[in-house]
Each structure stands twice: as C-alpha cells, then as structure tokens.
Chains A and B, each alone.
Chain A
Amino acid sequence: MIRRIHILLLAAALVYAPRVASAQLRVVTSTTDLYDIAKAVGGNKITATHIGEGYQDPHFIEAKPSFVLQLRSADVWAFVGLDLEIGWMPLLLEGARNTRIRQGGSGYLDVSTVIPVLDRPQGNIDRSMGDVHAGGNPHYWLDPQNGRRIARLFKTKFTQLDPTNSSAYDANARAFEARLNAAEKGWQADLAAIKGKPVVAWHTSWRYFAEYNGMNIVAFMEPKPGVPPSPSHLYGVIQTVKRTGAKAIIMEPFYDRKVADLVSKQTGIKILILPPSVGGIPGAVPDYFSLMRYDMSQLANAVR
C-alpha cells in the first residue's frame, strides 16, 4: 500500500515537476535590441524570440493572438518598460496565461529597473503635455552604457533561473562587454565630430543617444511627445534650424519623411533616417554593435 502511494507521488511529481534544468530557457523580448543582447548573453543555452521588429514603431505594436503563442511557454518575458509597451503588453500577458511571466512571476523582467532614466517628470503631469510617460523616457538602449546594464541584468536573471549554466552566462556577458568596449574605441573619432553639433530629432527617442554622444538637440519635429508635427510648429522648427545652423533631422524609418522634406526644402538641412533598433534597416544593422556603429558613423558624416 505504502509502495503504491510512493509510486503515485512519484508519478505526480513527474507530471508537475518544474521544467528540468537541462532544457534551454525560453526567452521572449518586446524589442529586437533586448533580443540581440539576450542572445549574446544566453548563447546556445537559451532560445530567444522577439515581438516587435526594429523597423516598427515600438509604441504601436498590435496585440496579435499569434504573439500569445510565443508567450504562453516562455520562461522569461523581457520588456523595455516605462510604459513603452502599455498599448499592447497587458493584452498579450493576459492572453498568454503563463504565470511565470506575469507581474510577480520569476520570468517577468522589466529591464528599465536597472536604467538611470532620463526625462522623468517631476511634480504634476497631465496629458496636455502629450504622450508623457510618467516613469520617464523609455528609449534608453541607444546608450552603450545602458547596453552593458541590460547585458548584466540578463546574466543575473538567466543565472537565477538556470544556475547550472551560470558560468556560460557570465562568460558571455563578459565577452559582450569586451566587444562593446572595443567597438566604442572604434567610433571615438565619430564622437568627437558629433559633440556639440546642433541637430533636430523627430521624437524624444534620441535623448539617450544625445546624452551619450553630446549632440545638441535644438528642436523636436513633434511639438510634444507622440503629437504629430503641426504646420505652425514646423514653421518654428524651420526658424530654429536657420538660427542654429542645425545639420540634420534625425528620424526613425517609420515616420513620414515627407514632413521632414518640407523642412529640408526650406533650410537645406539633411534628413538622416537612422534605425532606432536592431534590424531597423533590413540587412544593415543585424546586431547591437552594428546598430550603434551605423548610427554613430551616419550621424558623424552628416554633421561633420
């Protein structure tokens, strides 16, 4: 009798046992940048997929049911946070019905928690200020220092969920940082060329990039975050470009170039379509290093 109970218990344990440690961690990320860094740290110990594409506006991803299928078996859900994904993530997480990646679950990874956040509003805010994110500016991955922070966070999380492979994660994270250090040395001349140069940015998504490379954003094409350019605002941008001698309008590939063309026609300013994310220009920026290098050299050439 006791033996029979033991067998039953054993069977139950087998059925309900947590996933065995030898299996690969299944990681899903909201953006391609997080995906690329997760892959760099996880190596062949994880499988990774991403929801958004690099050439898509990350604020407006659709909560397609097919994404639910990706998420329902995920061990880690890594997202940018600071409300970047607020328009679609809640629907996907509810749809996925996966307790590991719900808030409070071991795989729920809000990457912004390790980032020193820019543009965090103080005092009262309301929506007359546009699409302000109460937690601060979420476009933080275009600063390599934040790239390192993201890599370290992945190392910590993967190690916690899969301790048997901790040495691999540690080695991969170190290798990532070493590669990034080397890449950074390669664009020092570009940094020097960019520093202090006046530019126009479409959205606040270039704030961290500017903090890193010292470019001086003298105007935004959007009058307020997320608010499309109005004619009167564009007229003001043109005046500012003329006054400051701004060299380039930096914009993502998913915004309407024709509006920037208007400003360019009036002022001769260059339009610089820069990918904000890995894969943002198909073929050109397949990983985080090439993304940073591409944006840095394109910008340097434009403002030199």
Chain B
Amino acid sequence: MRITRYFATCLLLVASAARAQQPDTIRSRSKADSIAKAVRDSVELMNALGAAVADTTQRPTVPLRPQGGSTNPRLLPDFSAVGDLVGDLSPKGSTQPDHSRLGVREVELSVQAVVDPYFRGDVFLGISDLEKISIEQAFLTTTSLPNQLELKIGRFLLPFGKQNLTHRHDLHAIEYPYVLQKLLSDDGLKGTGLWGSRVFAPFGFFQEIQLTAIDRISPATDGLTTAEDVNKSLGGLGFSARLRNYVDVSEAANVELSFSAMTGKRDQPLDATYTTLVKGGSNSQFVPRDVNATIARQSTFGVDFTYRWRPLQQGLYESFILQSEVMHQRNERNPALPVAECPFGAGTCGVPAYAGPARDYTGAYVFARYQTGQRRFIGARYDYVQNPETNGRTLNAGSVYLEWFPSEFTKLMAGYEGLKSADATLSNRLLLQAVFSMGPHKPHPF
C-alpha cells in the first residue's frame, strides 16, 4: 500500500501544483476531464450492470427463482489454461534445462467437472518444449463416500510433504525447493494409482490420514533397462502415507505439522551393460536382453511444518508464512543383481557390480513470505540437500523473491539465488517469471 500511497501523493501534489501555476491551461483541464470521465464510466459500468435487473427502483414481491435458469445449462466442464513463462538472466548463461534465456516453461491445460453423482473428474495436461505433452494429473474423486472418506483413482501429485502438492506455477517461489527437486522430482512427484484419505478429530483439532498405493515411486529413468519390470511383483508398487495435523493457534495464526513416508522400488544403474536371459513374449521362452540397471528399494521420510499468520481485519494487506520441510531418503545398498549370460548361451559369465546410490540422502528448506501490500509479497528461502546427482555432496542455496499479483489471474515474480554446489563455487542466478491463468475462478489453495 505504501507505494500506491506514495504515487498517489506525488500525483496529487503534481496535479495541484500544476493547477496552481496554470489554472486554465487546456491540457490540465482536459486531463482532469478525462479522469473525471473515467470515474463516471466506472459508475456507469455499475449502473449498466444493474440495468440487467428490470426496474430496480420498484421493490419486487417475493420471486420464486428471480435468477432464472441454470448458469451452465449444457453441463460444460470447466476449461482453463495456465501459462508459465520464465526468464533466466543469470550472469553466466541460462540455468534452464533447455538453456533458454526467455522461455515458456509450461502450459497447463485443465478440464474439471463433476462426472456423475458419485465422482468428480480432474484432468491436467502439461505441455512443454522438453516434455512435449504429458498427462500431469488425471483422476476421479469420490463425492459420496460416508465417514469422511475420500478416494481418488488415477494420476495425482503424490501427497508427500507440503509443497509437492502445490502446482509449480502456484508456488511462491519460481522453482520447487532443491530437496524436492533432488529427492522427489523437479516438477512435482506424481503417482498413478489409488489415494484414500480420511478426516478425523479425536483430539479436537483437524487431522487427516492420506494413504496411496501407486504403480511406481518414480518414472523410468531415461537410458536404464532392467531385466524385469520394476512393478513386476506387487511388492514393487509404491506406497505412501501422510498424517496431517492442523491447529488454529488464534483467530489469525495457525500451524500445520505433518509427517510423510513412502517406499517402493526403482531402477538403479549397474556399472556396465550386461546381457541376461529374461522371460519374453507369450511362449515363455527365455530371450537375451541388454540390461544396465537393477531394481532397488528406496524409502523416503519427511516432516513438514507451516506457520501462517493473517489478521482477519487487515488480511487484505498483511500476512506471513513460515514453512519448512525435512526429508531423508534411504537407499537399498545391496539389491539383487541380474546374472549375466555369456554370449552364445555358454552359461553364467559373471556378475555385474551395483552402481546405484551407496548411501542415504538428507535435505531441507526453510521458506518465509511476508505480505507488504494488497498484492505484493517478499519471500526468502534457504535450501540444503545432499545431492544424489553428485554422490551426496551438499548443495546450499539462498534465494529472495519479489512477488506481485496485478490481479488474481496474473503473477509476476523476480528471484535471485546464490547457489553453492559440490565444488564450493558460488553461482548466481537471476530469474523472472510471469504466470497467467484463464478460465473460471479457482479456489485459492490453502
């Protein structure tokens, strides 16, 4: 508000000074006229809107349904599109995966509707130059189960930790925290399967348990081939659990402390490519296959904490969020290895060595955001993660953000990040982001 006030004061001073000096110049008068006209227009807009209701001065007698019929007589689903544009002005070149300085990071299309008396449907498609088109989410949600139960079927953002459930373009930073990027996924970890949840409050505050069983805990890694499918046995499926605990501290402040865990199997590299005999085709024959990966269990545990403050009466202009997540990932050290076959079927020739992670990884972030005006926020984040891509050497980052919402449908962000990776060199990143969304007004995620 301060900036608006400042500009308004300046403008008023300038305007009154101008009038004092040259009270009758045509320019200042025409400017005043045009502004006064803008005000009249805004009043006229209201009146025009009001004219829709026939004769508002006469007070109607009780109408049964004065609004007439349905607002959506053809039962169309809600369509919307989100554009996520990122500019990378980092001094040593772009740090984006596609090396763009100015890029469209993603366009998200969504179709949402109540499907029938039992289900709601949500489909989100992600389109990007790198991934082309992908099914980000597509799930049914039950709407009529008893006992505060809810079931989702399909692909969804996995309920693990706090920020993973937020779409990347809805974050109050430009990218996910590094601990999510490195231990989960750089654009939100999704799972495909079943999600069951139940709300309960035995201690008087809100609690929710969210359980999932999903096809696998991570998508297949490019370039890795395993002898058997990761999910061949049911034990290879992924499972996750999350317990949410939410407490109102006061009318203005509240706290969420939640715990998450997930486990499943995924592909991990071998030290070389081997040929193994695997059961193939429908006739139960063993066929040779070039294999460079095996299957190992990976389990991740997380704790997340969010403190929010927003005084009800001043809530349009003032708020504060403090958020933190800690994650720990455990990796199986000695998974079963495929037995390599010699060429031309001469029996067993040797055993490949495991080249997957030989250690566990831990990471965390702390994020804070303060509202400085009706539509302006400043944020800062500190990141720490033992990076699996550099064999667990630590990555530290500190970043600050300016966030501005011209309206509820557009967001502009600027971010600076200082990043210290394994070799201890500091690199600077300067990012800009513009997000716009078209379509029906969606609820604001809490």
Contacts and interface: CB of A to CB of B under 8 A. Distances in A.
Interface of A: 53, 55-57, 60, 62-66, 68-69, 72, 83, 86-91, 94-97, 99, 102-104, 112-122, 127, 129, 131-132, 134-137, 145, 149, 152, 204, 207, 211, 217-220, 222-224, 226-240, 243, 253-256, 258-259, 262, 266
Interface string B382-424: 0000000000000000000000000111000000000000000
Contact of A116 (B5, B35, B53): B53
B407 A236 contact: no
Contacts of A129: 45
B150 interface: yes
B49 A137 contact: yes
Contacts of A127: 407, 409
A121 B117 contact: no
10 contacts: A56-B315, A64-B248, A64-B446, A65-B206, A87-B441, A97-B199, A120-B53, A228-B374, A229-B8, A237-B39
B71 interface: yes
A145 B48 CA distance: 23
Given A137-B49, A231-B7, A259-B5, A116 B63 contact: yes
A236 B39 contact: yes
B27 interface: no
Contacts of A121: 49, 52
Given A255-B316, A259-B4, A135 B50 contact: no
The 8 closest A-B pairs by CB, nearest first: A236-B35, A119-B49, A236-B39, A120-B52, A65-B206, A231-B11, A56-B312, A231-B8
B206 A99 contact: no
B443 A258 contact: no
B220 interface: no
Given A90-B443, A116-B66, A236-B38, A65 B246 contact: yes
Contacts of A266: 12, 16
B255 to A, nearest CB: 11
Contacts of A69: 199, 201, 206
B32 A239 contact: yes
B317 interface: yes
A65 B446 contact: yes
B443 A89 contact: yes
B40 interface: yes
B38 A258 contact: no
Interface in B33-50: 35-40, 42-43, 45-46, 49-50
Contact of A86 (B56, B67, B443): B443
A243 B36 contact: yes
B314 interface: yes
Contacts of B51: 122
B208 interface: yes
Contacts of A72: 148, 199
B148 to A, nearest CB: 5
Given A114-B62, A232-B11, A88 B443 contact: yes
A202 B49 CA distance: 17
B59 interface: yes
B9 interface: yes
Contacts of A90: 442-443
A218 B60 CA distance: 25
Nearest to A253: B313
B375 interface: yes
A117 B67 contact: yes
B263 to A, nearest CB: 27
B256 to A, nearest CB: 8
B314 A254 contact: yes
A211 B59 CA distance: 9
A124 to B, nearest CB: 13
Which of A83, A236, A254, A256 has most chain B Cβ within 10 Å? A236
A91 to B, nearest CB: 5
A117 B37 CA distance: 27
A188 to B, nearest CB: 16
B446 A63 contact: yes
Contacts of A239: 32, 35-36, 39
B254 interface: yes
A220 B43 contact: yes
Contacts of B67: 112-113, 115, 117, 120, 135-136
A68 B206 contact: yes
B35 A232 contact: yes
Contact of A224 (B45, B59, B141, B375): B45
B11 A235 contact: yes
A87 B254 contact: no
A132 B148 CA distance: 35
A89 B375 CA distance: 22
A220 B62 contact: no
A228 B63 CA distance: 35
B148 A136 contact: no
